[in-house]
Chain A
């Protein structure tokens, strides 16, 4: 049986709007993906369709070799942590964990309570009594604790302070190293996940624009900075993704391998966020 999720020619239309346009994508097992895209690019729609919250207009989702749409067994392998709360407001954090355990038998209650303690989340509190940040934390805890082979995070750190964000990323990596699984993180905070993700998927206007290992993406180009005139001279005839001018200084992102970079120019690795901005602006 082939492990992983295969998205085949997936199209999702909402009336006249095509949110996903014949998307093909493979999510391999035990790999961390960064799903990037601008607002309205189709990130959440894609995750919602894979997670069976939306039914596609066309195409298919195959999970571990079987059709994933409306399939109890296949969907039991997918845990989707979305932005919004789907539990009745009177539900307590403890009840949320219990219900998750009911539907995801591998849910680790001990780990969930341990994480709640680390984050300072009171499990007896009702969801309606939680701040935006703590509501996110409650869902964030349930996701890795569910131990689903495919875990999706859609804007996972919304409303979290810097300390909690860092705790989450650290815990995610720790959990992943102990119990590998496929993780997809959809976020706008690219810099924060740049060092975590192994594969970059950029989606634009409902189509996959780029799907490559993070290391390869970083080697797709480079950045040079220095005096504006020198940068301009160096960039002439090269494929420039974008430029930034600050006073007399300029920095430019270029595609391809660095060649004969003058010593007066500083060369750095391509920044994922900058590449993303340039690719999605183009």
Chain B
């Protein structure tokens, strides 16, 4: 099966990135430990394992749309296989990184560092293996969803021409930074209140259980997966330069 071959190619091209990523995480943990020992601080937090891994997966997704499409199509691999290989690879990578993160968190705790403050803050009532399992599932789903978001962004830029790339690169951040606040200011108070209530009830729902968060992430994975598929299903081989 060529999915396996594409999977192997993605892995080969991720390997050194992961070494660098976990090298940096290890360095931060050691730095935290040194600070804790020499400054007599009782608690030093080294957090954000899951968040950093999710950002890493986002970047992987962005990079792999052009690289994987170009390489796969030029080696007799169909778009369908390139896409499925990527979806499975992102899932496997998310699972793998979540497990390594757990190991890292465990090692950090053994060194006396506080490595799970974020999870405790969001889900304070969850303790023990059962509680942790839900958090792990939500982290895996989060990594997968952000990887797919990255794949979608990479695909959108791959398919756009230069003019559209410039337009989107300027317009989207501008809309988010200026357009959205302006819209909220200009919108009738009732609408803003309804939107606010809806937003906060959504947050409450997510915070209620890590499985709810996982469901939200899975929804994101499916959403960006569908749009990524639409971008790749007729994608040409475009070679920069």
Contacts and interface: CB of A to CB of B under 8 A. Distances in A.
Interface of A: 48, 52-55, 70-72, 75-80, 82, 84-88, 99-100, 102-104, 148
Contacts, number: 61
25 contacts: A48-B236, A48-B237, A53-B74, A53-B237, A54-B236, A54-B237, A55-B233, A55-B234, A55-B235, A55-B236, A71-B78, A72-B77, A75-B77, A75-B78, A76-B76, A77-B76, A80-B74, A84-B239, A85-B239, A86-B71, A86-B74, A88-B67, A102-B8, A103-B77, A104-B76
Interface string B49-77: 00000000000000000010011011111
Interface string B76-120: 111111000000000000000000000000000000000000000
A273 to B, nearest CB: 30
Contacts of A71: 78
Nearest to A56: B234
B38 to A, nearest CB: 40
Interface in B222-241: 233-237, 239, 241
Nearest to A54: B236
B76 A79 contact: yes
A103 B67 contact: no
Contacts of A102: 5, 8-9
Contacts of A76: 2, 76
Nearest to B3: A72
B14 interface: no
B13 interface: yes
Interface residues of B, number: 24
Contacts of B239: 84-86
B73 A103 contact: no
Given A72-B2, A72-B81, A87-B71, A103 B76 contact: yes
B157 to A, nearest CB: 18
Contacts of B5: 102-103
A82 B70 CA distance: 12
A156 to B, nearest CB: 16
Nearest to A12: B236
Interface in B190-241: 233-237, 239, 241
B234 A78 contact: no
A103 B2 contact: yes
Nearest to B235: A55
A99 B74 contact: no
A99 B77 CA distance: 13
